[in-house]
């Protein structure tokens, strides 16, 4: 098979949506490191993940991003930016938006949308046909994300949902409309600078005293705003939905978590990001959902600078990645890997700790990635999912 045929086959597997399972299969069959394309290698060991994603100099990674998501416009925001220097500058500029102080200021916004969701569920949930939970968690997550990103009231749960945001990405005809919407929202937010009802992420891109951005700066803001919106929407929506599904499928875990929450709080309004943070079984359930579902299951490919990865020298220019999905599904690293078992994340002194999970590779699990490219919104994601699950189980 020629190199072009190999690459075509690899691309087909990605487009079919079976790439994570294919990677897990070849790693299980051929060992810890496998060539999966003419210029691509995948590893499964935790040491490989450390070598690939953690290695850096002054917070600038040695293994750089590939051009897989390069828009070809010379502007890649923060998530897709390949240049370590530019990425570091943008990340440093945005980091105050995800500080504890900033997230605390956004908490009323979070409760506003979650409480509205609960009101609608109480109203509609008793109907004979029930509700489509996937749809409602999508709407909730987008309402929260848009409000936190640039103070935009999307009102997905109230009026006319933007259905084009929730259809498969393969229907590319919706892309121009999505981009046009983002362009309009950024322009509106710039006009409102210094005149918003609450602090949002955009405040750090365009503070109240900032001059009118030039065309290039505006494009930069549009890309970042779109990335903040999407990164704060789809992964959160999936975490909301999947946690509830796994709990419904595992009555014992559902009962234990419900008891923990209702024992701790006298009312739903007593649930805050601070008061809920220490609930061990809740945190265990959320971690287990992250393990079973795996954000970024398609891999995070990087370009080798010419360096060692878990004892193997990878030549400069070779694409290399860590099989995160394969790692979470491997019986070598997790006992009963295909099962939803929150107790694997509990401390040994917890009443529901199970010694069967003693040897699980918990310390090697990094659901929000690691190193200079780790997710800056991790703290916000934890706050949202904890409060959402706690309030849902307290009320239902």
List residues forming the annotated binding site for heme.
375
List residues forming the annotated binding site.
375
Closest CA to 316 of 302, 327, 306: 306
Neighbours of 249 (CB within 10 A): 10
Pull the structure tokens for residue 389: 């699950």
SS3 for the chain is CCHHHHHHHHHHHHHCCCHHHHHHHHHHHHCCEEEEECCEEEECCHHHHHHHHHCEECCEECCEECCCCCCCCCCCCCCCCCCHHHHHHHHHHHHHHHCHHHHHHHHHHHHHHHHHHHHHHHHHCCCCCCCCHHHHHHHHHHHHHHHHHHCCCCCCCCCCCCHHHHCCCCCHHHHHHHHHHHHHHHHHHHHCCCCCCCCCHHHHCCCCCCCCCCHHHHHHHHHHHHHHHHHCCHHHHHHHHHHHHHHHHCHHHHHHHHHHHHHHCCCHHHCCCCCCCCCHHHHHHHHHHHHHHCCCCCCCCEECCCEEECCEEECCCCEEEECHHHHHCCCCCCCCCCCCCHHHHCCCCCCCCCHHHCCCCHHHCCCCCCHHHCCCCHHHHHHHHHHHHHHHHHHC
């Amino acid at each position: 098979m020629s190199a072009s045929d190999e690459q075509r086959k690899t691309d087909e597997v990605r487009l079919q949506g079976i790439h994570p399972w294919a990677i897990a299969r070849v790693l299980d069959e051929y060992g810890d490191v496998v060539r999966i394309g003419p210029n691509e290698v995948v590893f499964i060991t935790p040491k490989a993940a450390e070598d690939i994603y953690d290695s850096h100099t002054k917070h600038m990674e040695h293994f750089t991003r590939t051009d897989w998501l390069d828009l070809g416009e010379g502007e890649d925001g923060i998530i897709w930016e390949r240049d370590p220097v530019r990425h570091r500058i943008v990340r440093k500029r945005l980091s105050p938006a995800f500080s504890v102080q900033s997230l605390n200021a956004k908490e009323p916004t979070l409760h506003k949308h979650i409480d509205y969701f609960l009101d609608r569920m109480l109203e509609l949930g008793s109907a004979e046909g029930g509700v489509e939970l996937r749809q409602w968690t999508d709407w909730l997550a987008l309402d929260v994300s848009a409000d936190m990103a640039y103070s935009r009231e999307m009102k997905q749960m109230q009026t006319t949902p933007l259905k084009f945001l929730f259809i498969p990405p393969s229907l590319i005809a919706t892309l121009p409309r999505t981009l046009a919407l983002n362009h309009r929202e950024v322009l509106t937010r710039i006009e409102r600078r210094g005149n918003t009802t609450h602090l949002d992420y955009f405040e750090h891109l365009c503070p109240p005293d900032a001059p009118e951005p030039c065309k290039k700066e505006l494009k930069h803001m549009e890309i970042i705003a779109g990335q903040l919106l999407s990164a704060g929407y789809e992964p959160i929506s999936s975490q909301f939905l999947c946690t509830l599904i796994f709990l419904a499928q595992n009555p014992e875990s559902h009962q234990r978590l419900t008891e923990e929450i209702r024992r701790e709080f006298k009312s739903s309004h007593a649930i805050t990001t601070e008061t809920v943070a220490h609930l061990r079984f809740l945190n265990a359930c959320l971690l287990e959902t992250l393990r079973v579902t795996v954000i970024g299951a398609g891999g995070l490919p990087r370009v080798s600078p010419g360096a060692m990865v878990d004892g193997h020298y990878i030549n400069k220019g070779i694409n290399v990645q860590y099989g995160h999905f394969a790692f979470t599904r491997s019986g070598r690293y997790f006992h009963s890997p295909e099962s939803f078992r929150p107790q694997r994340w509990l401390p040994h002194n917890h009443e529901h700790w199970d010694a069967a999970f003693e040897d699980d590779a918990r310390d090697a699990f990094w659901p929000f990635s690691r190193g200079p490219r780790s997710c800056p919104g991790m703290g916000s994601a934890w706050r949202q999912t904890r409060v959402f699950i706690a309030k849902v189980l307290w009320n239902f």
